[in-house]
Amino acid sequence: MDAVALTAVPVSAAGTRAPPRCLRCNYDLHGLPADGNCPECGLSIARSSDAAGGELRHAPPGWLASLSWGSRLVLLTPVLGYVYAACVGLRLPWINSLVVFFGVRAALDVVFAAGIWLLTRPQPHRAVTHWTWRWALRLLALAPLADTVTVYLRMDVRRSVLWRDQPDWAMLGLVPMPALLFLHLRRLALRVPAARLAQHCAVVATLGSACFAGAGLSVFVRMRTDVELAFGVGCVLTLLWAAFVMAWFAVVVHRARRASVASWTG
């Protein structure tokens, strides 16, 4: 039997294997030295290797822009919701109707879901990882919209007869949201690298889901007033902490994108 010829994979002097595809133009890099450049676009092959699992500043700028915009949308949604509910709705009674109020809430919920979608975009030209995690987070991002629709149907006189005895199951979808979202952000923060930001993400993920679980349970189970108040205060403090961490993450990703644009176009 003839011996099967094996194709050697090029290895640089540092021992790094060349990646199969260029992250900028998706050119096939097989057979090229790992310390060379892509013949199609000129991007360093070593940079493609780093971006496959290295620092975010080596990742494609377009993908980093998606992360940046996603974090901004997720951060702005509760801020705009509070401004509308506390200021606009009270000062302008002519728009303070049931349809308008819940219509604005529904629009903000859609913006929040869009932000989560952008934050969970897979990195281009890279093997798709955490597929189940990504789609679970995207589906749970629709929980606020489902809750808004449910509450509207309860308060609408024409539909309250059909919905008055329905439990608010949509609230349960918010329980795992902090854990899924901020553990996902933690993985990205470790690629900045930003160890302190990653630690804050882990803490918010743990406390957020615990407080949301307690608050959600109080909707279905009678609790003592002090216990229910403690969970409510915990949710408010966790949301403030989460907003701080999300703003921090947005700044870090924006800086990584600027570094990426400078290196990719340099």
Share the mean pLDDT of the chain: 80
**What pLDDT, on a 0 to 100 scale, did the predictor assign at position 78?**
87
* Long-range contacts at 175-178 (CB < 8 A, ≥ 24 apart): 175/209, 175/212, 175/213, 175/216, 176/136, 176/140, 176/209, 177/137, 177/140, 177/141, 177/143, 177/208, 177/209, 177/212, 178/204, 178/205, 178/207, 178/208, 178/209, 178/212, 178/238, 178/242
**What pLDDT, on a 0 to 100 scale, did the predictor assign at position 157?**
59
**What pLDDT, on a 0 to 100 scale, did the predictor assign at position 162?**
52
- For range 42-64, the mean pLDDT: 75
Residue 12: pLDDT band with limits 50, 70, 90: very low
The model's pLDDT over 100-146, given as tens digits with 9 standing for 90+, comes to: 788 888 999 999 999 999 999 998 877 667 889 999 999 999 988 98
Residue pointed to by tokens 């013949």: 39
Give residue 154's Cα distance to chain centre.
Answer: 30
Residues in CB range of 3: below 8 A, 6 or more apart:
none
pTM (two decimals):
0.80
Q: Which of 9-13, 53-57, 82-86, 254-258 has the lowest mean pLDDT?
A: 9-13
CA distance 219 to 255: 42
Tell which wins on pLDDT, 161 or 83.
Answer: 83
Q: Which of 87-101, 104-118, 156-170, 250-264 has the lowest mean pLDDT?
A: 156-170
Q: Which of 18-27, 90-99, 169-178, 245-254 has the lowest mean pLDDT?
A: 90-99
The H-or-E segment that residue 106 falls in is helix 98-119
CA distance 185 to 62: 18
Statement: residue 253 has pLDDT above 80? yes
